[in-house]
Each structure stands twice: as C-alpha cells, then as structure tokens.
Amino acid sequence: MDKLKFISSHKFIIGSLLVAYNRLNLHNRLRNRGNKLECKLSLLNNVKIKIKGKGNSITIDELSRIHDTLIYISGNNNVIVIGKKCYTRNLKLHIEDDSNMISIGDNTSVCGKTHLAAIESTRLIIGKDCMFSSDIRIVTGDSHSVVDMQGERINPSKDVVIGNHNWIGAKVTCLKGVCTADNCIIGASSTVTKKFDNPNCAIAGVPAKIVSTDLNWLAKRI
C-alpha cells in the first residue's frame, strides 16, 4: 500500500494526530479567536498566525507541509487558502484591510524567503504546481498613496494572478496588476509590472519582458 492510500485509509487517526501535533508544537502560534482556521491532514512547524480582526478564514488543505511561515492579517472577512500537497518555507502572508484573498494552488512549493501581500480588497492568486525560489516579493498595492496635482489618488491596488505551473526565480518582484499565463518562467532578479497573456514563455528583466517563447519547464533535471 503506497503512502497516499495508507493516509486515505486512516484519515481520522492521522488527522487527529496532526491536529494534536500542530496545537502542542511549542514553535507554533495558532491563535485565531473570532476567526476560522481549518487545517486538513497537514503538518505545521514554526507557523505563527497573528490576526487583528474578525471573520477571517485560513484553510490549509490536505498533505501540505508548512514550515517557518508567518500569517499576518489586519482587517475583517479576509481569506487565505493553501492548497493540497503544498510546501512552504520562510513564507510571509500579509493582509491589510477587509475582504482580501490570498490563494496558493495545489502542489506549489515555496523554497525560500517569500513575501505575499494583499491590501484594499484585492486578490493575490498563485496557480497550481508553481515553484518559487527565494527572496521573492509579490504585492497587490503600493502601501502608500501617489496623488495628482489636485490631491486625487492615482495608484489604486490591483489583483495579481500567477498562472499554473510558473517557475519564479530568485529575487523576483511582482507588482500590482501583474498576471502571467500558464507554464511560464520568470527569470531571477526580474521586476514584473504588467500583464502577460502568452503561455509557455520566459519573462525577464527590469522591467520584465518576454525573452523566449515556446518552452516549458520541469522540476527535476533530466
């Protein structure tokens, strides 16, 4: 019997043991009074949750391994979803204001220091089967106001959507309004500032542009 079949056959027992481990692990801080935390058959280690607000929801789906991760929410009715079979290390999820969403798709791995931030009722969506290197920053807003000469703000926050099966290189920054298609590579040290509709391409530079097309990537070397 393989591991997945064994876990599926013993969900109640394994789930109960994981809940106990996650709660009793002194390195975790999982206080969520007035909010919802649902962790399904996943392992948490050195996970700290800090929430100022109510009606927020955090869901970590089955068979994910979440290490050295900080979840910070300041606001109400926000949603964080981490999908099935995800792996994270040194991840920070940061939400300010109300009704934001951060979603990480199934089978996504975050291998090093990564900061994801959503503000002002925006969505930050990471697709399935993505791979993040380290020193990555993805944000939906500027945090401060840029105004015109009449004092009107001209830099509203915007959703960010990273497509399925994207490989994000080291030291990448993705700013508000960024969207990438499926099967893309974002080169190391790039700053992405706009929407890219083309799948199967490499994006690189400051500001980033398409540098190669008709390609894909594999997590393992062949």
Looking up residue 172, the CATH number of its domain turns out to be: 2.160.10.10
- pLDDT tens, N- to C-terminus, the chain (222 residues): 465 555 555 666 666 778 788 888 888 998 888 999 999 889 999 999 999 999 999 999 999 999 999 999 999 999 999 999 999 999 999 999 999 999 999 999 999 999 999 999 999 999 999 999 999 999 999 989 999 999 999 999 999 999 999 999 999 999 999 999 999 999 999 999 999 999 999 999 999 999 999 999 999 999
In a domain, 96, yes or no: yes
CA-to-CA distance for 191 and 168, rounded, in angstroms? 11
| Predicted TM-score of the model (pTM) | 0.92
CA-to-CA distance for 197 and 208, rounded, in angstroms? 14
In a domain, 131, yes or no: yes
- The domain tally of the chain equals 1
Q: Which domain holds residue 9?
A: 3-213
In a domain, 218, yes or no: no
In a domain, 162, yes or no: yes
Task: Give the type of residue at 42.
Answer: S
In a domain, 98, yes or no: yes
